[in-house]
Amino acid sequence: TQAHIEALEKARVLNAYLLETPERALAMADVSDAKIAAGEGRPLEGLPLGIKDLFCTHGVHTTAGSKILEGFEPHYESAVTHNLWRDGAVMLGKLNLDEFAMGSSNETSAYGNVISPWRRNGSDAPIVPGGSSGGSAAAVAAHLCLGATATDTGGSIRQPAAFTGTVGIKPTYGRCSRWGTVAFASSLDQAGPIARTVRDCAVLLGSMSGPDSRDTTCVDLPVPDFEAAVSRGVKGLTIGIPKEYRVDGMPAEIQRLWDQGAEWLRAAGAEIREISLPHTQYALPAYYIVAPAEASSNLARYDGVRYGLRVPGKDIVGMYENTRAAGFGREVKRRIMIGTYVLSAGYYDAYYVRAQKIRTLIKRDFEAAYEAGVDAILTPATPSAAFGVGEKASADPVEMYLNDVFTVTVNMAGLPGIAVPAGIDAQGLPLGLQLIGRPFDEETLFATAQAVE
Ligand code: GLN
Protein backbone atom coordinates (compact mmCIF):
# COMPACT_ATOMS: atom_id res chain seq x y z
CA THR A 1 0.00 0.00 0.00
CA GLN A 2 2.82 2.40 0.89
CA ALA A 3 4.56 1.72 -2.44
CA HIS A 4 1.33 2.35 -4.35
CA ILE A 5 0.67 5.62 -2.51
CA GLU A 6 4.14 6.82 -3.52
CA ALA A 7 3.64 5.63 -7.11
CA LEU A 8 0.39 7.50 -7.56
CA GLU A 9 1.87 10.74 -6.21
CA LYS A 10 4.42 10.55 -9.04
CA ALA A 11 1.90 9.75 -11.76
CA ARG A 12 -0.62 12.56 -11.27
CA VAL A 13 0.00 13.72 -14.83
CA LEU A 14 -2.15 10.77 -16.00
CA ASN A 15 -5.13 12.22 -14.05
CA ALA A 16 -6.26 8.66 -13.32
CA TYR A 17 -7.25 9.37 -9.70
CA LEU A 18 -9.87 12.01 -8.93
CA LEU A 19 -9.27 11.51 -5.23
CA GLU A 20 -6.44 9.81 -3.37
CA THR A 21 -7.31 8.44 0.07
CA PRO A 22 -3.87 7.60 1.56
CA GLU A 23 -4.90 7.85 5.21
CA ARG A 24 -7.81 5.51 4.76
CA ALA A 25 -5.57 3.17 2.72
CA LEU A 26 -2.93 3.01 5.44
CA ALA A 27 -5.54 2.45 8.15
CA MET A 28 -7.05 -0.41 6.13
CA ALA A 29 -3.57 -1.84 5.51
CA ASP A 30 -2.87 -1.76 9.26
CA VAL A 31 -5.98 -3.84 9.86
CA SER A 32 -4.75 -6.26 7.18
CA ASP A 33 -1.34 -6.55 8.85
CA ALA A 34 -3.02 -7.38 12.14
CA LYS A 35 -5.30 -9.96 10.50
CA ILE A 36 -2.38 -11.65 8.80
CA ALA A 37 -0.33 -11.63 12.02
CA ALA A 38 -3.25 -13.28 13.79
CA GLY A 39 -3.55 -15.92 11.06
CA GLU A 40 -6.97 -14.58 10.08
CA GLY A 41 -6.18 -13.33 6.57
CA ARG A 42 -9.20 -12.81 4.33
CA PRO A 43 -9.22 -13.61 0.56
CA LEU A 44 -8.06 -10.15 -0.61
CA GLU A 45 -6.13 -9.21 2.51
CA GLY A 46 -4.11 -6.01 2.02
CA LEU A 47 -4.55 -5.77 -1.77
CA PRO A 48 -4.58 -2.07 -2.77
CA LEU A 49 -7.33 -1.27 -5.29
CA GLY A 50 -8.63 1.78 -7.11
CA ILE A 51 -12.38 2.42 -7.23
CA LYS A 52 -14.14 3.90 -10.26
CA ASP A 53 -15.86 7.04 -9.03
CA LEU A 54 -19.23 5.64 -10.05
CA PHE A 55 -19.31 3.44 -6.93
CA CYS A 56 -20.68 5.19 -3.86
CA THR A 57 -18.21 5.04 -1.00
CA HIS A 58 -19.38 5.86 2.50
CA GLY A 59 -18.22 9.34 3.55
CA VAL A 60 -15.91 9.62 0.53
CA HIS A 61 -16.60 12.17 -2.21
CA THR A 62 -18.31 10.44 -5.17
CA THR A 63 -18.73 12.42 -8.38
CA ALA A 64 -19.52 10.05 -11.30
CA GLY A 65 -17.16 12.36 -13.21
CA SER A 66 -19.83 15.09 -13.13
CA LYS A 67 -20.00 18.60 -11.69
CA ILE A 68 -23.59 17.93 -10.70
CA LEU A 69 -22.43 15.59 -7.93
CA GLU A 70 -19.76 17.99 -6.65
CA GLY A 71 -19.70 17.77 -2.86
CA PHE A 72 -21.74 14.53 -2.70
CA GLU A 73 -20.58 12.26 0.12
CA PRO A 74 -22.75 9.14 0.21
CA HIS A 75 -23.91 7.89 3.59
CA TYR A 76 -23.84 4.33 2.24
CA GLU A 77 -21.37 1.97 0.59
CA SER A 78 -22.03 0.29 -2.77
CA ALA A 79 -22.60 -3.47 -2.58
CA VAL A 80 -19.56 -4.16 -4.78
CA THR A 81 -17.09 -2.08 -2.75
CA HIS A 82 -18.61 -3.36 0.48
CA ASN A 83 -17.83 -6.91 -0.67
CA LEU A 84 -14.22 -5.97 -1.49
CA TRP A 85 -13.61 -4.38 1.94
CA ARG A 86 -15.29 -7.37 3.62
CA ASP A 87 -12.65 -9.55 1.95
CA GLY A 88 -9.74 -7.39 3.11
CA ALA A 89 -8.98 -5.17 0.09
CA VAL A 90 -7.57 -1.66 0.65
CA MET A 91 -8.94 1.50 -1.04
CA LEU A 92 -6.29 3.77 -2.61
CA GLY A 93 -8.77 6.30 -3.96
CA LYS A 94 -11.45 7.11 -6.53
CA LEU A 95 -10.74 6.81 -10.24
CA ASN A 96 -11.61 9.18 -13.05
CA LEU A 97 -14.24 8.24 -15.67
CA ASP A 98 -16.34 9.70 -18.43
CA GLU A 99 -19.18 11.78 -17.02
CA PHE A 100 -21.86 9.33 -15.79
CA ALA A 101 -19.88 6.65 -17.69
CA MET A 102 -20.92 8.10 -21.05
CA GLY A 103 -17.98 7.93 -23.40
CA SER A 104 -15.25 5.82 -24.95
CA SER A 105 -12.12 7.90 -24.31
CA ASN A 106 -12.44 9.40 -20.84
CA GLU A 107 -12.61 12.84 -22.44
CA THR A 108 -16.11 13.68 -21.18
CA SER A 109 -15.10 13.76 -17.49
CA ALA A 110 -15.86 17.12 -15.89
CA TYR A 111 -12.52 16.78 -14.08
CA GLY A 112 -10.28 16.54 -17.15
CA ASN A 113 -9.33 13.65 -19.39
CA VAL A 114 -7.20 10.66 -18.37
CA ILE A 115 -4.00 9.93 -20.27
CA SER A 116 -2.90 6.36 -21.00
CA PRO A 117 0.60 5.39 -19.87
CA TRP A 118 1.11 4.06 -23.45
CA ARG A 119 2.61 6.07 -26.34
CA ARG A 120 2.97 5.37 -30.05
CA ASN A 121 6.51 4.38 -31.08
CA GLY A 122 8.75 7.45 -31.28
CA SER A 123 5.98 9.88 -30.24
CA ASP A 124 5.16 11.79 -27.06
CA ALA A 125 1.60 12.59 -28.13
CA PRO A 126 -0.85 11.57 -25.38
CA ILE A 127 -3.06 8.56 -26.06
CA VAL A 128 -6.55 7.97 -24.61
CA PRO A 129 -6.99 5.07 -22.18
CA GLY A 130 -10.47 4.33 -23.54
CA GLY A 131 -13.65 4.88 -21.59
CA SER A 132 -15.67 5.13 -19.66
CA SER A 133 -13.48 3.27 -17.13
CA GLY A 134 -10.40 5.13 -18.38
CA GLY A 135 -9.08 5.94 -14.92
CA SER A 136 -9.40 2.29 -13.90
CA ALA A 137 -7.57 1.03 -16.99
CA ALA A 138 -4.80 3.67 -16.88
CA ALA A 139 -4.23 3.11 -13.15
CA VAL A 140 -3.95 -0.67 -13.58
CA ALA A 141 -1.68 -0.35 -16.64
CA ALA A 142 0.57 2.21 -14.89
CA HIS A 143 0.81 0.07 -11.73
CA LEU A 144 -1.06 2.65 -9.65
CA CYS A 145 -3.17 -0.13 -8.08
CA LEU A 146 -3.21 -3.93 -8.24
CA GLY A 147 -6.68 -3.93 -9.71
CA ALA A 148 -9.65 -1.63 -10.08
CA THR A 149 -13.41 -1.70 -10.10
CA ALA A 150 -15.09 -0.65 -13.33
CA THR A 151 -18.54 -0.70 -14.93
CA ASP A 152 -19.69 -1.68 -18.39
CA THR A 153 -22.94 -0.49 -19.98
CA GLY A 154 -21.81 -0.77 -23.59
CA GLY A 155 -18.14 -1.73 -23.39
CA SER A 156 -16.69 0.48 -20.68
CA ILE A 157 -14.72 -2.32 -19.01
CA ARG A 158 -13.62 -4.19 -22.12
CA GLN A 159 -12.71 -1.29 -24.43
CA PRO A 160 -10.40 0.52 -21.95
CA ALA A 161 -8.85 -2.83 -20.98
CA ALA A 162 -8.12 -3.51 -24.67
CA PHE A 163 -6.69 0.01 -25.13
CA THR A 164 -4.27 -0.35 -22.20
CA GLY A 165 -3.10 -3.97 -22.44
CA THR A 166 -5.03 -5.01 -19.34
CA VAL A 167 -7.72 -7.62 -18.68
CA GLY A 168 -11.33 -6.65 -17.99
CA ILE A 169 -14.45 -8.74 -17.54
CA LYS A 170 -18.08 -7.66 -17.67
CA PRO A 171 -19.93 -10.48 -15.94
CA THR A 172 -23.43 -11.65 -16.81
CA TYR A 173 -26.11 -9.04 -16.05
CA GLY A 174 -27.22 -9.83 -12.50
CA ARG A 175 -23.94 -11.30 -11.29
CA CYS A 176 -22.90 -8.14 -9.41
CA SER A 177 -25.32 -6.06 -7.42
CA ARG A 178 -25.92 -2.59 -8.86
CA TRP A 179 -26.93 -1.28 -5.45
CA GLY A 180 -25.00 1.90 -4.63
CA THR A 181 -23.50 2.23 -8.11
CA VAL A 182 -24.57 5.45 -9.83
CA ALA A 183 -27.04 4.37 -12.54
CA PHE A 184 -26.51 5.11 -16.25
CA ALA A 185 -28.74 2.60 -18.11
CA SER A 186 -30.08 0.19 -15.52
CA SER A 187 -30.93 -2.73 -17.82
CA LEU A 188 -27.36 -2.72 -19.23
CA ASP A 189 -25.09 -1.59 -16.35
CA GLN A 190 -22.83 -4.19 -14.77
CA ALA A 191 -19.78 -3.88 -12.52
CA GLY A 192 -16.61 -5.88 -13.05
CA PRO A 193 -12.87 -5.72 -12.45
CA ILE A 194 -9.93 -4.51 -14.55
CA ALA A 195 -6.61 -6.10 -13.59
CA ARG A 196 -3.29 -7.10 -15.11
CA THR A 197 -3.97 -10.84 -15.48
CA VAL A 198 -6.92 -13.14 -16.08
CA ARG A 199 -6.29 -14.75 -12.70
CA ASP A 200 -6.40 -11.38 -10.89
CA CYS A 201 -9.73 -10.63 -12.58
CA ALA A 202 -11.08 -14.02 -11.47
CA VAL A 203 -10.08 -13.38 -7.86
CA LEU A 204 -11.56 -9.86 -7.84
CA LEU A 205 -14.83 -10.84 -9.54
CA GLY A 206 -15.26 -13.64 -7.00
CA SER A 207 -15.32 -11.02 -4.28
CA MET A 208 -17.34 -8.33 -6.09
CA SER A 209 -20.22 -10.58 -7.15
CA GLY A 210 -22.94 -12.39 -5.23
CA PRO A 211 -26.61 -12.15 -4.32
CA ASP A 212 -28.08 -8.92 -2.92
CA SER A 213 -31.76 -8.49 -2.12
CA ARG A 214 -31.44 -4.69 -2.49
CA ASP A 215 -31.02 -5.07 -6.28
CA THR A 216 -33.97 -7.06 -7.62
CA THR A 217 -32.07 -7.85 -10.85
CA CYS A 218 -29.14 -9.35 -8.93
CA VAL A 219 -29.42 -13.14 -9.15
CA ASP A 220 -29.59 -15.45 -6.20
CA LEU A 221 -26.86 -17.82 -7.43
CA PRO A 222 -23.80 -18.95 -5.49
CA VAL A 223 -20.51 -17.46 -6.71
CA PRO A 224 -18.43 -20.16 -8.42
CA ASP A 225 -14.72 -20.60 -7.74
CA PHE A 226 -13.60 -18.38 -10.61
CA GLU A 227 -9.92 -18.73 -9.76
CA ALA A 228 -10.09 -22.52 -10.11
CA ALA A 229 -11.69 -22.08 -13.54
CA VAL A 230 -8.68 -20.13 -14.86
CA SER A 231 -6.56 -23.26 -15.22
CA ARG A 232 -9.29 -25.54 -16.59
CA GLY A 233 -7.97 -25.48 -20.16
CA VAL A 234 -10.02 -25.34 -23.36
CA LYS A 235 -9.77 -28.94 -24.59
CA GLY A 236 -13.07 -30.04 -26.07
CA LEU A 237 -14.60 -26.55 -26.09
CA THR A 238 -16.19 -25.15 -29.23
CA ILE A 239 -15.32 -21.53 -29.98
CA GLY A 240 -17.53 -19.60 -32.41
CA ILE A 241 -16.18 -16.98 -34.82
CA PRO A 242 -19.09 -14.73 -35.83
CA LYS A 243 -18.78 -13.72 -39.46
CA GLU A 244 -20.80 -10.52 -38.98
CA TYR A 245 -18.02 -9.06 -36.83
CA ARG A 246 -15.80 -8.89 -39.94
CA VAL A 247 -16.92 -5.28 -40.45
CA ASP A 248 -16.02 -3.08 -43.41
CA GLY A 249 -12.90 -1.04 -42.96
CA MET A 250 -11.53 -3.15 -40.13
CA PRO A 251 -7.73 -2.73 -40.10
CA ALA A 252 -5.79 -5.76 -41.36
CA GLU A 253 -3.90 -6.02 -38.10
CA ILE A 254 -7.16 -6.51 -36.17
CA GLN A 255 -8.10 -9.34 -38.55
CA ARG A 256 -4.62 -10.89 -38.06
CA LEU A 257 -4.97 -10.65 -34.29
CA TRP A 258 -8.36 -12.34 -34.45
CA ASP A 259 -6.98 -15.19 -36.64
CA GLN A 260 -4.04 -15.52 -34.28
CA GLY A 261 -6.37 -15.80 -31.27
CA ALA A 262 -8.37 -18.55 -33.01
CA GLU A 263 -5.11 -20.35 -33.78
CA TRP A 264 -3.97 -20.18 -30.11
CA LEU A 265 -7.29 -21.67 -28.99
CA ARG A 266 -7.11 -24.41 -31.64
CA ALA A 267 -3.55 -25.24 -30.56
CA ALA A 268 -4.76 -25.47 -26.96
CA GLY A 269 -7.36 -28.09 -27.95
CA ALA A 270 -10.51 -26.13 -28.82
CA GLU A 271 -12.59 -26.59 -31.94
CA ILE A 272 -13.07 -23.41 -33.97
CA ARG A 273 -16.36 -22.96 -35.81
CA GLU A 274 -17.67 -20.11 -37.96
CA ILE A 275 -21.06 -18.95 -36.72
CA SER A 276 -23.63 -16.33 -37.69
CA LEU A 277 -25.14 -13.67 -35.43
CA PRO A 278 -27.36 -12.12 -38.10
CA HIS A 279 -28.69 -9.08 -36.20
CA THR A 280 -25.26 -7.76 -35.17
CA GLN A 281 -25.44 -4.68 -37.40
CA TYR A 282 -28.50 -3.37 -35.54
CA ALA A 283 -26.93 -3.57 -32.08
CA LEU A 284 -25.12 -0.25 -32.08
CA PRO A 285 -28.05 1.92 -33.26
CA ALA A 286 -30.42 0.09 -30.89
CA TYR A 287 -27.98 0.55 -27.99
CA TYR A 288 -27.82 4.30 -28.66
CA ILE A 289 -31.60 4.42 -28.24
CA VAL A 290 -32.00 2.15 -25.20
CA ALA A 291 -29.03 3.55 -23.24
CA PRO A 292 -29.96 7.25 -23.61
CA ALA A 293 -33.64 6.44 -22.89
CA GLU A 294 -32.76 4.85 -19.57
CA ALA A 295 -30.17 7.55 -18.84
CA SER A 296 -32.69 10.35 -19.37
CA SER A 297 -34.91 8.71 -16.79
CA ASN A 298 -32.13 7.90 -14.30
CA LEU A 299 -30.64 11.39 -14.50
CA ALA A 300 -33.96 13.08 -13.71
CA ARG A 301 -33.06 12.75 -10.02
CA TYR A 302 -30.29 15.37 -10.26
CA ASP A 303 -32.48 18.34 -9.51
CA GLY A 304 -30.33 20.39 -7.14
CA VAL A 305 -32.40 19.24 -4.15
CA ARG A 306 -31.15 15.79 -3.31
CA TYR A 307 -27.50 15.61 -4.36
CA GLY A 308 -24.39 17.73 -4.84
CA LEU A 309 -24.59 20.95 -6.82
CA ARG A 310 -27.34 23.55 -6.45
CA VAL A 311 -27.48 26.73 -8.54
CA PRO A 312 -30.17 29.14 -7.28
CA GLY A 313 -32.92 30.41 -9.59
CA LYS A 314 -35.87 32.78 -9.29
CA ASP A 315 -38.20 29.91 -8.30
CA ILE A 316 -37.89 26.13 -7.90
CA VAL A 317 -38.15 25.41 -11.63
CA GLY A 318 -35.50 28.06 -12.27
CA MET A 319 -33.29 26.34 -9.70
CA TYR A 320 -33.73 22.95 -11.46
CA GLU A 321 -32.91 24.52 -14.82
CA ASN A 322 -29.87 26.42 -13.61
CA THR A 323 -28.52 23.42 -11.70
CA ARG A 324 -28.89 21.03 -14.63
CA ALA A 325 -27.57 23.58 -17.14
CA ALA A 326 -24.44 24.15 -15.07
CA GLY A 327 -24.01 20.63 -13.71
CA PHE A 328 -24.21 18.41 -16.80
CA GLY A 329 -21.64 18.36 -19.61
CA ARG A 330 -22.32 18.31 -23.36
CA GLU A 331 -22.37 14.54 -23.88
CA VAL A 332 -24.70 13.99 -20.92
CA LYS A 333 -27.08 16.68 -22.18
CA ARG A 334 -27.01 15.10 -25.65
CA ARG A 335 -27.99 11.72 -24.15
CA ILE A 336 -30.77 13.25 -22.03
CA MET A 337 -32.21 14.94 -25.12
CA ILE A 338 -31.99 11.80 -27.29
CA GLY A 339 -33.46 9.71 -24.48
CA THR A 340 -36.32 12.10 -23.83
CA TYR A 341 -37.08 12.26 -27.55
CA VAL A 342 -37.22 8.48 -28.09
CA LEU A 343 -39.44 8.05 -25.03
CA SER A 344 -41.86 10.83 -25.93
CA ALA A 345 -45.44 9.91 -26.86
CA GLY A 346 -45.16 10.34 -30.63
CA TYR A 347 -41.85 8.51 -31.04
CA TYR A 348 -41.95 5.77 -28.40
CA ASP A 349 -43.14 3.03 -30.78
CA ALA A 350 -40.96 4.11 -33.68
CA TYR A 351 -37.73 4.21 -31.67
CA TYR A 352 -37.82 2.79 -28.18
CA VAL A 353 -40.13 -0.18 -28.77
CA ARG A 354 -38.30 -0.99 -32.00
CA ALA A 355 -34.94 -0.93 -30.24
CA GLN A 356 -36.29 -3.29 -27.59
CA LYS A 357 -37.45 -5.69 -30.32
CA ILE A 358 -34.00 -5.60 -31.87
CA ARG A 359 -32.59 -6.35 -28.46
CA THR A 360 -34.65 -9.54 -28.32
CA LEU A 361 -33.43 -10.57 -31.78
CA ILE A 362 -29.81 -10.04 -30.75
CA LYS A 363 -30.34 -12.14 -27.66
CA ARG A 364 -31.88 -14.92 -29.76
CA ASP A 365 -28.90 -14.90 -32.14
CA PHE A 366 -26.62 -15.72 -29.22
CA GLU A 367 -29.04 -18.31 -27.81
CA ALA A 368 -29.11 -20.10 -31.16
CA ALA A 369 -25.30 -20.25 -31.26
CA TYR A 370 -25.10 -21.63 -27.74
CA GLU A 371 -27.88 -24.14 -28.42
CA ALA A 372 -25.89 -25.37 -31.42
CA GLY A 373 -23.03 -26.28 -29.10
CA VAL A 374 -20.83 -23.17 -29.05
CA ASP A 375 -19.22 -22.64 -25.62
CA ALA A 376 -17.71 -19.20 -26.17
CA ILE A 377 -17.39 -16.67 -28.99
CA LEU A 378 -14.16 -14.98 -30.04
CA THR A 379 -14.14 -11.46 -31.53
CA PRO A 380 -11.81 -8.45 -31.55
CA ALA A 381 -12.47 -6.24 -28.51
CA THR A 382 -12.32 -2.98 -30.47
CA PRO A 383 -12.23 -2.00 -34.15
CA SER A 384 -8.88 -0.21 -33.71
CA ALA A 385 -6.09 0.45 -31.22
CA ALA A 386 -6.30 3.46 -28.90
CA PHE A 387 -6.36 6.87 -30.56
CA GLY A 388 -4.76 10.17 -29.59
CA VAL A 389 -6.25 12.61 -27.08
CA GLY A 390 -8.48 15.04 -28.98
CA GLU A 391 -8.41 12.98 -32.19
CA LYS A 392 -12.05 11.94 -32.00
CA ALA A 393 -13.48 14.14 -29.27
CA SER A 394 -14.38 17.07 -31.47
CA ALA A 395 -15.60 15.05 -34.43
CA ASP A 396 -19.10 13.74 -35.09
CA PRO A 397 -20.20 11.92 -31.90
CA VAL A 398 -21.17 8.88 -34.00
CA GLU A 399 -17.46 8.45 -34.80
CA MET A 400 -16.89 7.90 -31.07
CA TYR A 401 -19.92 5.60 -30.74
CA LEU A 402 -18.45 3.30 -33.43
CA ASN A 403 -15.82 2.22 -30.90
CA ASP A 404 -18.51 0.15 -29.21
CA VAL A 405 -19.44 -1.90 -32.27
CA PHE A 406 -18.02 -5.19 -30.87
CA THR A 407 -18.93 -4.69 -27.23
CA VAL A 408 -22.55 -3.43 -27.07
CA THR A 409 -24.11 -6.67 -28.34
CA VAL A 410 -22.95 -8.35 -25.12
CA ASN A 411 -24.73 -5.79 -22.92
CA MET A 412 -27.87 -5.91 -25.07
CA ALA A 413 -27.99 -9.70 -24.54
CA GLY A 414 -26.93 -9.53 -20.87
CA LEU A 415 -24.03 -11.93 -21.49
CA PRO A 416 -20.58 -12.09 -19.91
CA GLY A 417 -17.63 -10.77 -21.95
CA ILE A 418 -13.92 -10.52 -21.25
CA ALA A 419 -11.21 -8.49 -22.99
CA VAL A 420 -7.73 -9.90 -22.92
CA PRO A 421 -4.51 -8.39 -24.30
CA ALA A 422 -3.36 -10.29 -27.38
CA GLY A 423 -0.74 -8.21 -29.18
CA ILE A 424 0.79 -4.89 -30.11
CA ASP A 425 0.00 -2.99 -33.31
CA ALA A 426 2.53 -1.57 -35.79
CA GLN A 427 2.64 1.68 -33.81
CA GLY A 428 3.40 -0.07 -30.52
CA LEU A 429 -0.07 0.14 -28.95
CA PRO A 430 -1.85 -2.81 -27.32
CA LEU A 431 -4.68 -4.73 -28.99
CA GLY A 432 -7.25 -6.90 -27.26
CA LEU A 433 -9.48 -9.83 -28.08
CA GLN A 434 -12.94 -10.42 -26.63
CA LEU A 435 -14.51 -13.68 -25.52
CA ILE A 436 -18.27 -13.83 -25.03
CA GLY A 437 -19.84 -16.57 -22.91
CA ARG A 438 -23.11 -18.22 -22.03
CA PRO A 439 -25.18 -16.55 -19.31
CA PHE A 440 -23.59 -17.15 -15.88
CA ASP A 441 -20.71 -19.11 -17.40
CA GLU A 442 -17.88 -16.72 -16.59
CA GLU A 443 -15.82 -19.82 -15.72
CA THR A 444 -15.47 -20.83 -19.39
CA LEU A 445 -14.48 -17.25 -20.20
CA PHE A 446 -11.70 -17.30 -17.63
CA ALA A 447 -10.43 -20.62 -19.00
CA THR A 448 -10.48 -19.47 -22.63
CA ALA A 449 -9.04 -16.03 -21.83
CA GLN A 450 -6.17 -17.73 -20.03
CA ALA A 451 -5.40 -19.72 -23.20
CA VAL A 452 -5.20 -16.47 -25.21
CA GLU A 453 -3.40 -14.30 -22.64
N1 GLN B 1 -19.12 4.09 -24.87
C2 GLN B 1 -20.42 3.66 -24.47
C3 GLN B 1 -21.30 4.85 -24.18
O4 GLN B 1 -20.81 5.93 -24.24
C5 GLN B 1 -20.32 2.72 -23.32
C6 GLN B 1 -20.32 3.36 -21.99
C7 GLN B 1 -20.29 2.36 -20.87
O8 GLN B 1 -20.15 1.16 -21.07
N9 GLN B 1 -20.45 2.89 -19.68
O10 GLN B 1 -22.45 4.72 -23.91
Q: How far out from the chain centre does Cα 48 lie?
A: 19
Strands 376-380 and 90-95: unpaired
Three-class secondary structure of residue 241 per DSSP: strand
CA distance 55 to 193: 12
For residue 156, the CA-to-ligand 1 centroid distance in Å is 5
CA distance 448 to 429: 23
pLDDT value of residue 393: 83
Residue 386 near residue 165 (C-beta atoms within 8 A): no
- What sign has the CA pseudo-torsion 31, 37, 43, 44? positive
pLDDT value of residue 250: 86
- Determine the residue of 98, 412, 434 to mutate for testing ligand 1's pocket, defined as the one with the most ligand atoms within 8 A of the Cβ atom: 98
Known catalytic residue at 132: yes
Residue 82 near residue 202 (C-beta atoms within 8 A): no
Three-class secondary structure of residue 139 per DSSP: helix
Known catalytic residue at 10: no
> Which residues does ligand 1 sit against, CB inside 6 Å?
101-104, 132, 152-156, 184, 291, 404
Known catalytic residue at 52: yes
Helix ranges (H only) for 38-179 are 79-86, 134-141, 158-164
Q: What pLDDT tens digit does each residue of the chain (453 aa) get?
A: 999 999 999 999 999 999 999 999 999 999 999 999 999 999 999 999 999 999 999 999 999 999 999 999 999 999 999 999 999 999 999 999 999 999 999 999 999 999 999 999 999 999 999 999 999 999 999 999 999 999 999 999 999 999 999 999 999 999 999 999 999 999 999 999 999 999 999 999 999 999 999 999 999 999 999 999 999 999 999 999 999 999 888 889 999 999 999 999 999 999 999 999 999 999 999 999 999 999 999 999 999 999 999 999 999 999 999 999 999 999 999 999 999 999 999 999 999 999 999 999 999 999 999 999 999 999 999 999 999 999 998 778 888 888 899 999 999 999 999 999 999 999 999 999 999 999 999 999 999 999 998
CA distance 80 to 58: 12
* Catalytic residue from among 104, 105, 136, 156: 156
Q: How many residues does the chain have?
A: 453
CA distance 186 to 179: 11
User: How many CB atoms are located within 10 Å of the residue 254 CB?
Assistant: 24
Residue 93 near residue 50 (C-beta atoms within 8 A): yes
For residue 373, the CA-to-ligand 1 centroid distance in Å is 31
- Determine the residue of 99, 100, 108, 132 to mutate for testing ligand 1's pocket, defined as the one with the most ligand atoms within 8 A of the Cβ atom: 132
Domains and CATH numbers, the chain: 2-230 (3.90.1300.10)
The predicted model scores a pTM of 0.98
Specify which residues 168 forms β-bridges with.
194, 419
pLDDT value of residue 164: 98
* Catalytic residue from among 32, 78, 132, 136: 132
User: How many CB atoms are located within 10 Å of the residue 187 CB?
Assistant: 16
Strands 417-424 and 271-275: unpaired
Strands 48-52 and 90-95: parallel
For residue 39, the CA-to-ligand 1 centroid distance in Å is 43
- Give every CB contact of residue 190 below 8 A, 6+ residues apart in sequence: 151, 152, 153, 170, 171, 172, 173, 175, 176, 178, 411
Residue 108 near residue 329 (C-beta atoms within 8 A): yes
- Give every CB contact of residue 127 below 8 A, 6+ residues apart in sequence: 115, 116, 118, 119, 120, 163, 386, 387, 388, 389, 429
pLDDT value of residue 395: 74
Q: How far out from the chain centre does Cα 196 lie?
A: 15
| Residue from 33, 294, 4, 271 nearest 145 by CA | 4
Rg (CA), the chain: 21
> Which ligand 1 atom lies nearest to the CA of residue 287?
10
Residue type, 117: P
Q: From residue 389, how far is each of 115, 143, 201, 386 by CA, in Å?
A: 8, 21, 28, 9
For residue 319, the CA-to-ligand 1 centroid distance in Å is 29
For residue 103, the CA-to-ligand 1 centroid distance in Å is 5
